[in-house]
Amino acid sequence: MKTDVQAAAVKPNIKTGRRVYGLGKALIYLVLSILFVTQVYPLLWLFLYSLKTNEEILSGKFFALPAKFQWHNFHDAVQSGNYFEYLKNSIFVTLVTMICVLLLSSLAAFAISRFRWKYGQAVMVIFLVGMMIPMQATLLPLMIMFKHIHILNTHLSIILPYIAFQTPVSVFILSGFMKTIPHEIEESAVIDGAGIFRIFRSIILPVSIPPMMTVCILTFINIWNEYIMAATFISKEQLKTLPFGVYSFVSQYSVNYGAIGAFLVLGALPVIIIYFLLADKITKGMVAGAVKG
């Protein structure tokens, strides 16, 4: 009899727990669906925008489908917007920046996290302060400095600031991960006769691939669409990067809005592809640098 009473008392709790679990799961799906729509809809809207005529765009019907898909807007974007020339410049600037950021930040993070020296924490604080400096506050000093050393209107004038602004975040991510690597590995390597650079090259770098992939992807995304510094330090047409192509469709008396939309789609396409291909590596790198640390 007692057992039956206890069983009867347990059943409502199980049902209540299932209802709460089901409600919580439905709420999570609802929030994720809202986030998905808010993130994907702008991309879908931009794609539809690129397939419309100027009249359809200026009509104010933002949610309407185009009467006829204007695929020639993409042809205009490639031909009139100097897409491939700007794409080449963007790839060059981004790749050089990524390589330099990876090299400098990995060395700095290795020194901060693995060496026992007096000013290690002070150097880390300097990097953290660098993360707080707004890019706009450095435009005028950099303009004066670059003018005096004669590197304005060169790719170097934007690559150097890009490296400076991306390195602090990269050091923060990499140092957080490198602190979790057991010191016994290095001690064994030292016993076997390995030097500092051998330890860094053969032990630390292979283990740190996940956070380094995160650094690469974040640097790529931040540099690819950067406009303010590129517009400030570069005026030569042959050196401009991809964001400048939008102005190829703006004249004194008319604007080709459809071609602008097509150019924006083509400009965003490499970032979207790379992000979706390597999204899991971003997550793994961030978790490795944050949870383990």
The three-state secondary structure class of 255 is strand
pLDDT of 49 higher than 90: no
* Average pLDDT value for residue range 23-34: 83
Q: What is the pLDDT of residues 94-132, one digit of tens each?
A: 999 999 999 999 999 998 888 877 777 888 888 888 888
Both tokens of 208, joined, read 């740190």
> What is the pLDDT, as a whole number, of residue 105?
93
Is the separation of the CB atoms in 73 and 261 below 8 Å?
Answer: yes
- Predicted TM-score (pTM) above 0.85: no
H-type alpha helices, the chain: 2-49, 54-58, 72-80, 83-114, 120-130, 139-148, 156-178, 183-191, 196-199, 205-207, 209-224, 228-233, 257-290
> What is the pLDDT, as a whole number, of residue 286?
56
Which residue ranges form the domains of the chain, and what is each CATH number?
Answer: 23-59 (no CATH), 82-291 (1.10.3720.10)
* Average pLDDT value for residue range 262-268: 89
The three-state secondary structure class of 82 is coil
| Region label for 168, one of left (φ > 0), alpha (ψ between -120 and 50) or beta (otherwise) | alpha
Q: What is the pLDDT of residues 132-146, one digit of tens each?
A: 888 888 999 999 999
> What is the pLDDT, as a whole number, of residue 168?
92
Q: What is the pLDDT of residues 208-251, one digit of tens each?
A: 888 898 898 889 988 998 889 998 999 888 899 998 888 878 77
